[in-house]
Amino acid sequence: MSTHQVLEHVDQYLQIGREYDCSDVHLATGYPPAWRRFGTLSPIWEDHDPLTPEQAEKLARSFLSETEWARLEKRGDIDFAYSSPSGRYRASVIKQRLGYDMVFRIINSKIRSIEDIGLPLEHILPLTRYQNGLVLITGSVGSGKSTTLAALVDFINRDREDHILTLEDPIEYVFESKGCHVNQREVHTHTESFAKALRGALREDPDVIMVGEMRDLETIQLALTAAETGHLVLGTLHTGNAPRTLDRVLDVFPTDQRDQIRIMVSESLRGILSQQLVPRADGSGRVMALELLVNTPAVSNCIREGKTYMLPGVMQTGKNVGMITMDESLRKLYVDGLITREELLYRSDDKAEMKVFLQS
């Protein structure tokens, strides 16, 4: 017999998640209430019974408006930004075989600065000061892309006197206009899709456009066009490192357009930041491993000629502009005693070379 009652409202679970420094709270049919802390998913209470379909439905109804409930019933899943007394969350609710599942990503209301996150300031700042071009932030789900993106936008907001337009799904961090005038638009609430919002954006005279996610051909195409026509575009992709990011961007285009797109990308790309959050060796949280590619003439040449496989070599010779590969970043964290040998091997791209390094 479980000693825990199911709480009345999702807000109570979210409050607990915040107090214990979690990144996500999971309320799913057939599973006890759970949280993700420092990258690991586990039940909040060890002896809690799994949620029944009725309990999960009751919790879902406790925070969904009638419109959202209707959309969930019709589509089977919804994503939106949810605000409760304890703060803002990215909420996702789906219907599955057993019942309803809810996942909440906890959004920190305080935007962390570039320094707070530990990004190399001297090499990141030049990327934010361009008048045009494309800066990509990449990594898997939960690798801190939104946090980094918010830090860059916040810096630009204080550093420049321009018009910033953000297109997000959903809006996570709320920016107050500082030096810049900031407009935030939420996909599904203020506009139908990223592509539609981007098309509209070009008529709104922005200087900087932040695209929450570049997931399809149309969005990527419009982002490239915007970057070419005098806008600084910041976007995110779910890719693991710089060469894979470029391949992903090029692969969405039809074969006959690729040569032309390669030239466009080689000219408009400013830099790619790829990141992952690695559990610390002492179990006290996670530390960021960061790969940075800066578009130099050598990099531009590799992209134009379709030789993205040569980029890691080029990056190793670009230390003076701050370039570092993911493997170098992981190796440094390991040498500094911040991550374990297992994590280093598990996360590295060139495992054979990493084994040689560990034996030396």
Q: What is the per-residue pLDDT across 310-351, written as a single tens digit (0 to 9) for each?
A: 999 999 999 999 999 999 999 999 999 999 999 999 999 999
Beta bridge partners of 103: 26, 92
Mean pLDDT in residue range 172-185? 93
Kindly state the average pLDDT of the residues 3-14: 87
Per-residue pLDDT at 116:
93
CB 249 within 8 Å of CB 264: no
In the chain, CATH 3.30.450.90 covers 10-107
> Which CA distances in Å does 297 have to 266, 267, 269?
9, 10, 11
CA distance linking residue 55 with residue 160, whole number of Å: 50
Question: Which residues, 6 or more positions from 302, have their beta carbon under 8 angstroms from its beta carbon?
Answer: 308, 310, 311, 314
Sign of CA dihedral 265, 270, 271, 272: negative
Provide the percentage of residues in the chain whose pLDDT is more than 90.
Answer: 81
Q: Is the pLDDT of residue 1 over 70?
A: no
Question: What's the pLDDT at 359?
Answer: 92
- pLDDT attached to residue 171: 86
Q: Give pLDDT, residue 193.
A: 87
Show Cβ contacts of residue 279 under 8 Å, excluding neighbours closer than 6 positions: 38, 39, 40, 285, 286, 339, 340, 343
Q: Domain 114-359 belongs to what topology?
A: Rossmann fold (3.40.50)
- Is residue 181 within 8 A of residue 227, CB to CB? The reply is no
What is the average per-residue pLDDT within 2-26? 89
pLDDT at 190: 86
Assigned CATH class of 10-107? alpha beta
Q: Output the average pLDDT for the chain.
A: 93
Average pLDDT estimate for 74-95: 91
Tell me what pLDDT residue 18 has.
93
What pLDDT does 3 receive?
Answer: 53
- The percent of residues in the chain predicted with pLDDT above 70, rounded, is 99
What is the pLDDT at residue 172? Answer: 83
The stretch 76-98 carries a mean pLDDT of 92
What tokens does 22 get? 């979690």
Of the candidates 219, 314, 218, the one whose C-alpha atom is nearest the C-alpha of residue 266 is 314
pLDDT at 158: 96
Give residue 256's pLDDT.
95
Number of other CB atoms surrounding residue 342 within 10 Å: 10
Instruction: Report whether pLDDT(202) > 90.
Output: no
User: How far, in Å, CA of 225 to CA of 260, rounded?
Assistant: 12
Domain limits, CATH 3.40.50.300, in the chain: 114-359
Which pair of structure tokens corresponds to residue 230?
A: 């005098």
Over residues 167-194, the mean pLDDT reads 89
pLDDT in tens, 96-141: 999 999 999 998 878 999 999 999 999 999 999 999 999 999 999 8
The DSSP result for 254-267, as a single string, is -GGGHHHHHHHHHH
pLDDT at 4 over 80: no
Number of helices and strands in the chain (H, E)? 15, 13
Three-state SS at 168:
strand
Q: Which of the four pLDDT bands, split at 50, 70 and 90, describes residue 2?
A: very low
pTM here? 0.86
By three-state DSSP, how is residue 90 classified?
strand
Region 268-293 average pLDDT: 94
59 pLDDT more than 50: yes
